[in-house]
Structure 1
Amino acid sequence: MSYSDTKWDVIIIGTGMGGGTIGRTLAEAGQKVLFLEQGAAGYRSEESGLSEIFVPEARLTRGLWPTPLHASVNGQDQVFYAPLGAGLGGSSVFYAATLERPEPHDLDHTETTPHPTQGWPVSFADMVPWYHRAAQMFRVYGSDDPLSAGPALPLRKPPELTQTEAGLMASLKSVGLNPYHAHTGIKRIAGCKNCLGVKCPKTCKMDGRSAGVEPALETGNAALLTGAEVTRLEEKGGDIIAVHATIKGQQEVLSAKRYVLAGGALGSAKLMLASANKAHPNGLANGSGQVGRNLMFHVDERFVLWPKRGTVDSGATKAISLRDLYLQNGNRFGTIQAVGLRASYGVIVHYLNLMLARSRFAKIPGLAQLTRIPAAIAHRLFGQAQIFVGLMEDLPYAHNRVTYDPNQPERLAIEYRYAPELLARRQAFRKAIRKAFRGHRRAFLGLKPVLNFGHPCGTVRFGEDPTTSVLNSDCKAHEISNLWVVDASFMPTSMGVNPSLTIAANALRVGDAIVKEAG
């Protein structure tokens, strides 16, 4: 097939939660779709994970983002490999398949839930049917959240709780908390291993690949081109007329009627900045100056809980979630959930080395080997403790941004400073966690704030006002007639839950709008 000579209806750059979902929607509607993916398709049977590999070609082969992230956090420069994907399915093939819906106040801002933005141009009520469709597409299972203010999701019946899970559920309820079975897109198949942080070799994990790209290809209306590094979008007269990409060392030009960016909140913003021209000197569709800005992550508050005696088995739980602290006294905290890991020796070594890589001691030779000693001590202390995380919402600030240097076009870089309100809110969150889990043996796993670099969002925000946003309410660029963005870039707030279900639901919504526009 000659990809450059084919007349495509839509070219989609990226194959993760947003790209895979909208690509399937468009292909099933009869649109001729071309997926462009920087990384490799990989083998359906592989089980590669988010391992520390330092050769760009080897990382791309395994579906990992090839280059390190250069991050300036509070003025301190850090260089490390972020948990980002760059292969078929993007980052979603490595995710933990947590697919939680946000609360109404996340999208509908009121006087009782103040926020430094104008909020979402699409209401929670408008998004509900798309959340339902996304939950069905991704086969989400779990139990209803007893504290949820919205209509119940169409959830599949969850598997039976293990001994540890049942014991923790009972002990949490005994102190007045309201745990529920977490909403997850992994169905257990006989012989299936834990897919947390690992590509699933079967079809038990629903992600951008299994729920999006693969069904799209099966329609016969879609094609996939891997190893395609898009370098810029060519614009003329307010339209994108071509995609310029390096494919197997060759420069190629591909064109379509419409273009969709889905390369992640860092990748899509970087590409728009790299596509500057005379009409858009500050970056494509960047008349507002907002492209790349308002970068948000979640702030992870990790802690361990010890199950009650007599309720412990050998497994780790990912089945427990609770929202008792989601919004408390006007503080936008977030959900608390089990991460699916025990505080084992290997896990502790991993987290210590991760903290080391993001510290000023990262370049000291041999220091990483010494983390084994405190890890061994911690493992003896923690025993069967289960790791939980409080996923605290980050708020948008213009100074937190993706940066682009035309002299280093391959470099992925950000600048981020902790806002004083975030630091104060984090201390309040820790205090609330200590109080909420009274009666349980528990311990925090860190002292400093930890950004969740797997949850970047907000860099190409949507809104009604072209002076303060990049996209309109249908996620089409204000200044470009045939460009849409459907990854986490579009989100004006980070919400208090994992972003995956929202990305998928929005991609379904935007796909429907594109189909209607195409007639």
Structure 2
Amino acid sequence: MDDLRTREWDAIVIGTGIGGGTAGRRLAEAGLSVLYLEKGRDLGDADLPALGLDSRDPETRLANGAWPRLLEAQLDGAWCELDGMIGAGVGGTSAFYAATLERPERHDLESVEGHPHPTGGWPISYDGMRPWFQLAENYFYINGEVDPLAPNGAQLLPPVLPLPASDAALISALQRTGMHPYRTHIAARFLPGCESCFGRRCPRRCKMDGRSAGVLPALETGRAALIDRCPVTRIEADGARVTGVTCRRDGQEFTLRAKRYVLAAGGLASPSLLLQSRSETWPDGLGNGNDLVGRNLMFHLSEIIAIWAGRSRGETGASRSISMRDLYFMDGQRFGTVQSMGLSAGFGEILHALNGRFERSPLRRLRPLRHGLRIPAMVAARLLGNAKLFVGVLEDLPYADNRVLSDPTDPDRLRFHYDISDELRSRRAAFRKAMRQAFRPHRAMFMGAAPQLNFAHPCGTLRFGDDPTDSVLDRDCRMHGLDNLYVADSSFMPTSNGVNPSLTIAANALRVADAIVAGLRPRLAAGGSLGY
């Protein structure tokens, strides 16, 4: 451990999720010495359930791979605590994710005729990102079917899991109504039974995440090392350069140093750490000269709908087989993808949805009537069988007042302010209407009425761009005003797009790593050898 602390590394990577794990692997494979710093534990191949925990005890939460404290949020003006399903351990949140990695669409990143982007696009085009999308798809073993609406999109391995008979029937039914379903893009090297690890830790490393596709391959190069249970409390800077990171482990505080630093603690934790890292040059937090650090916070909205489409005899469980993008961009409105969740809705889920409707009805004051909802829920479950749950991923857009808030008294507390805009409420209503229409041939019921923010998808809080007056990072995701600090997590995204962000994070992390490698190459004459 002393040797790890005293040497100067080519790169220190803060965080081991999709972004940090992938960036560190790319740097190590390029010949650089890399030190990973992880707040949580290295849980190895422990088989643990999803991140939702009943416990509020920080040690219990960390022992299970969850962020030690609940999130503290001001939502539409009201303060509350919530479990945001944020990971803290090697692999980060990705160790528990559902491994759905899909490319965004061209109009997500740039203005395209017929698909006007409301915020002006990204500083790098879709074609500029394409090489790293392809590389990320290789790193993460993405398998599935090509989206028929984007035949020149992802580079995929063929689907590994067989298609359940009921899903095949549902795909055929959707195709008959003019929809374009396809096999979901999954990051996995499947073994028998591995489909059960979606949403939980994978004990056999078949699911590809920040640990299995990033940290472990980096360590295997012999050029990377890992210190877990090592929260970074401060990033030290002298003028325009980061000089070190202050860490805490086993009750001791120490400073680690490198030529380059990659911040990948997540869309909430990265800006929070920067706001806490104040200096004479940066009195309001590193990179925060224009009060942009932590602003433009976005999530996705999740619209969950239960579909009763029939099930073949002997079929059990549910699969993550189906995605479709027919609703992604409709009538000038930015919606998103719709995909199966790998979950089923039985009596309990139906009763929960009916209770929600009751609470919004004129009968809600007649409390005894609520108990009668158990009967129709039971009848529906018996007559229709367990329904397949689908989720619509509704794009969120950036608003400067939605932001991460610093808490200097408690670095483990992640705080933010978020208001649901009128524009988002209007798009949500239109999206739900489009989803009902898409599944019209089947019995369907939304599993909630209130907007459901996906707190596991925070992004946009350190947006990248060419203009330092409206962005925190440059197009290489290097911080404006700090020439050796880069960001490789979801914070960089100017918009949230209409797909899960994981593939975009991984692709950009590879791009950032390549920019760092290029910057560390000695300036030799053409044909000279490279050294690090």
TM-score > 0.5, shorter chain as reference = yes
CA distance in structure 1 between the partners assigned to 2:404 and 2:289 by the alignment: 16
The alpha-carbon distance between structure 1 residues 372 and 517, as it changes in their structure 2 partners (threshold 3 A), is: farther
Kept in 2: contact 1:12–1:261 (CA 8 A): yes
Report SS of the residue matched to 2:186. Answer: coil
Alignment correspondent of 2:415: 413
Deviation at 1:448, TM superposition (A): 1.3
Kept in 1: contact 2:349–2:447 (CA 8 A): no
CA distance in structure 2 between the partners assigned to 1:479 and 1:352 by the alignment: 54
Report SS of the residue matched to 2:5. Answer: coil
Deviation at 1:193, TM superposition (A): 5.4
TM-score, L = length of structure 1: 0.93
CA distance in structure 2 between the partners assigned to 1:469 and 1:513 by the alignment: 19
Alignment of 1:183-222 (within 5 A): 183-192=185-194, 194-222=196-224
Kept in 1: contact 2:344–2:389 (CA 8 A): yes
The alpha-carbon distance between structure 1 residues 240 and 373, as it changes in their structure 2 partners (threshold 3 A), is: farther
Report SS of the residue matched to 2:268. Answer: helix
Deviations 1:148-191 (A, max 9, x none): 16444233334221112111111111211110000001233124
Alignment correspondent of 1:295: 297
Q: Structure 2: give runs of 5+ residues left out of the alignment.
A: 360-369, 522-532
The alpha-carbon distance between structure 1 residues 375 and 116, as it changes in their structure 2 partners (threshold 3 A), is: farther
Deviation at 1:446, TM superposition (A): 1.0
Kept in 2: contact 1:103–1:150 (CA 8 A): no
Kept in 1: contact 2:91–2:209 (CA 8 A): yes
Kept in 2: contact 1:12–1:36 (CA 8 A): yes
Q: Structure 1: give runs of 5+ residues left out of the alignment.
A: 360-370
The alpha-carbon distance between structure 1 residues 45 and 411, as it changes in their structure 2 partners (threshold 3 A), is: closer
CA distance in structure 1 between the partners assigned to 2:42 and 2:236 by the alignment: 26
Is 1:10 aligned with 2:11?
yes
Is 1:333 aligned with 2:335?
yes
Deviation at 1:381, TM superposition (A): 2.4
Deviation at 1:134, TM superposition (A): 0.5
Alignment correspondent of 1:343: 345
Deviations 1:429-459 (A, max 9, x none): 1111112222111111111111011111000
**Bigger Cα displacement from structure 2, 16-25 vs 53-62:** 53-62
Kept in 2: contact 1:73–1:417 (CA 8 A): yes
Deviation at 1:196, TM superposition (A): 2.1
Aligned AA (1:328): M
The alpha-carbon distance between structure 1 residues 282 and 116, as it changes in their structure 2 partners (threshold 3 A), is: farther
Alignment of 1:79-228 (within 5 A): 79-110=81-112, 112-148=114-150, 150-192=152-194, 194-228=196-230
Match of 2:267 among 254, 265, 287: 265
Kept in 1: contact 2:146–2:156 (CA 8 A): no
Alignment correspondent of 2:26: 25
Report SS of the residue matched to 1:265. Answer: coil
CA distance in structure 2 between the partners assigned to 1:483 and 1:490 by the alignment: 13
**Bigger Cα displacement from structure 2, 275-284 vs 413-422:** 275-284
TM-score, L = length of structure 2: 0.90
**Bigger Cα displacement from structure 2, 438-447 vs 333-342:** 438-447
Is 1:468 aligned with 2:470?
yes
CA distance in structure 1 between the partners assigned to 2:374 and 2:401 by the alignment: 36
**Bigger Cα displacement from structure 2, 406-415 vs 305-314:** 305-314
Alignment correspondent of 1:441: 443
Deviation at 1:252, TM superposition (A): 1.3
Alignment correspondent of 1:365: none
Aligned length: 504
Aligned AA (1:101): R
CA distance in structure 1 between the partners assigned to 2:349 and 2:252 by the alignment: 42
Kept in 2: contact 1:403–1:414 (CA 8 A): yes
Kept in 2: contact 1:296–1:458 (CA 8 A): yes
Match of 2:455 among 453, 456, 471: 453
Between the aligned residues of both structures, percent identity stands at: 51
User: What RMSD over aligned residues (CA atoms) do the two structures have, in Å?
Assistant: 2.2
Alignment correspondent of 1:58: 60
Kept in 1: contact 2:297–2:399 (CA 8 A): yes
Alignment correspondent of 1:363: none
Alignment of 1:64-83 (within 5 A): 64-83=66-85
Kept in 1: contact 2:110–2:117 (CA 8 A): no
**Bigger Cα displacement from structure 2, 97-106 vs 313-322:** 313-322
Report SS of the residue matched to 2:16. Answer: coil
* Greater radius of gyration (CA): 2
Aligned AA (1:12): V
Report SS of the residue matched to 2:135. Answer: helix
Report SS of the residue matched to 1:194. Answer: helix
Aligned AA (1:4): R
The alpha-carbon distance between structure 1 residues 31 and 384, as it changes in their structure 2 partners (threshold 3 A), is: same
**Bigger Cα displacement from structure 2, 109-118 vs 56-65:** 109-118
Alignment correspondent of 2:482: 480
The alpha-carbon distance between structure 1 residues 351 and 275, as it changes in their structure 2 partners (threshold 3 A), is: farther
CA distance in structure 2 between the partners assigned to 1:179 and 1:250 by the alignment: 54
Aligned AA (1:288): N
Deviation at 1:409, TM superposition (A): 3.4
Aligned AA (1:218): E
CA distance in structure 1 between the partners assigned to 2:304 and 2:519 by the alignment: 45
Deviation at 1:294, TM superposition (A): 0.3
The alpha-carbon distance between structure 1 residues 246 and 379, as it changes in their structure 2 partners (threshold 3 A), is: farther
Kept in 1: contact 2:99–2:209 (CA 8 A): yes
Kept in 1: contact 2:144–2:159 (CA 8 A): yes
Kept in 2: contact 1:167–1:311 (CA 8 A): no
Kept in 2: contact 1:164–1:311 (CA 8 A): no
Deviation at 1:15, TM superposition (A): 0.1
CA distance in structure 2 between the partners assigned to 1:427 and 1:503 by the alignment: 29
Is 1:44 aligned with 2:45?
yes
Deviations 1:292-348 (A, max 9, x none): 000000011110111136578222021100000000011000000001000135667
Deviation at 1:423, TM superposition (A): 0.6
CA distance in structure 2 between the partners assigned to 1:316 and 1:379 by the alignment: 20
Report SS of the residue matched to 2:295. Answer: coil
